[in-house]
Amino acid sequence: MTDFPASAVDLRPGCKVNFHLDILRLREDGYHELRTLFVPLPVPGDTLRVSEGSVGSGLKFGCSDPELEGDGNIVVRAYQAFAKATGFAPDIEVFLTKRVPHGAGLGGGSADAAALLLHLNGRARDAALNNEQLNSLAADLGADVPFFLLEGPALAEGIGEKLTPVDLDLRGVSLVLCCPGVHVSTPEAFRAWDAAQDTAREKGTPFLTSASHEYNFPTSFGVVAIRNSFEPVIFERYPELRLIKEQLAEHGAYASLMSGSGSSVFGLFHHHDRAQRAAETMAGQCPKVFVHKFL
Ligand code: C5P
């Protein structure tokens, strides 16, 4: 017996970083309207091994991190939502090997869910959903999931579900991604932003949307400022993240930014060897550091 059954397929979703994230306002339903530029990264990335299950078993789900097993996992919810929407519920086993750190602002769970949705939709034949239906089902699972149905960088508006593909020339750019051992809860990060907004309003002070200088990136959508509304509130709670941002700049990054609601922080470099040296130094203090060169 091999450990890779002939019928098994490995799905390899990546993750994302946000080159820009402006929180615009709190909506009545508790969600926030934003404008963000998502950029996909191939590493770190999880693996979902999908193999055939026994007849009538539906989905059997396992994970390399036992804490992430169970019906609450977004992969299980994606399977159930797809089955409910289409009636297509194949007997499969899915084993998720987790590599994308949780609570890091990298959208690992959302990427896993989108990968399974695309896989199921590809097999559903007559029951398959069209793009709009799949997008809407994805948005119900999580605000970042629709982005992972696409392939390239995209501007997201609304709560993250209104997507416009963006032409962003990143060729030759090296990205160093630092994942500290800090877990940031996204709902808490939004609540912290709400509280900071209320305080600023009471005091009549302008609200700081970015923690430091900005770098502007040309895109097909116009110039996009490298900045993130979450930085001021998250850096206040986790000063070590601000330090990582500053250290990346000291090591030669021409822009450095926290991704999503944190905790990961990335730096952009013109020279790959410089990026690699920075990554080696940062690895001394961050449990996980990744380098990616855009080709
Ligand atoms: O949709 P997702 O499960 O990724 O979002 C997690 C939480 O983050 C939501 O329950 C909500 O509190 C908050 N959120 C928000 N505005 C968004 C996206 C997420 O307030 N645009």
pLDDT(2) > 50: no
Quick one: which of 144, 154, 192, 176 has its CA closest to 264? 176
- CA 43 to centroid of ligand 1, rounded, Å: 24
80 lines ligand 1 (CB under 6 A): no
Neighbours of 205 (CB within 10 A): 9
CA of 159 to the centre of ligand 1 (A): 8
User: Does the C-beta of 142 come closer than 6 Å to ligand 1?
Assistant: yes
- Is the C-beta atom of 32 inside 6 A of ligand 1? yes
Query: Could you please report the per-residue DSSP string of 15-36?
Result: EEEEEEEEEEEE-TTS-EEEEE
Whether 144 is catalytic is yes
pLDDT in tens, 89-136: 999 999 999 999 999 999 999 999 999 999 999 999 999 999 999 999
With a 6 Å cutoff on the Cβ, whether 184 touches ligand 1 is: no
Percentage of the chain lying above the pLDDT 70 cut: 95
Which residues is 293 bridged to in the sheet? 174
Which residues are bridge partners to 227 per DSSP?
20
State the pTM of this model. Answer: 0.94
How far, in Å, from the CA of 128 to the mean position of ligand 1?
27
- What kind and span of H or E run contains 198? helix 186-203
pLDDT at site 228 = 95
Q: Could you confirm whether 288 is annotated as catalytic?
A: no
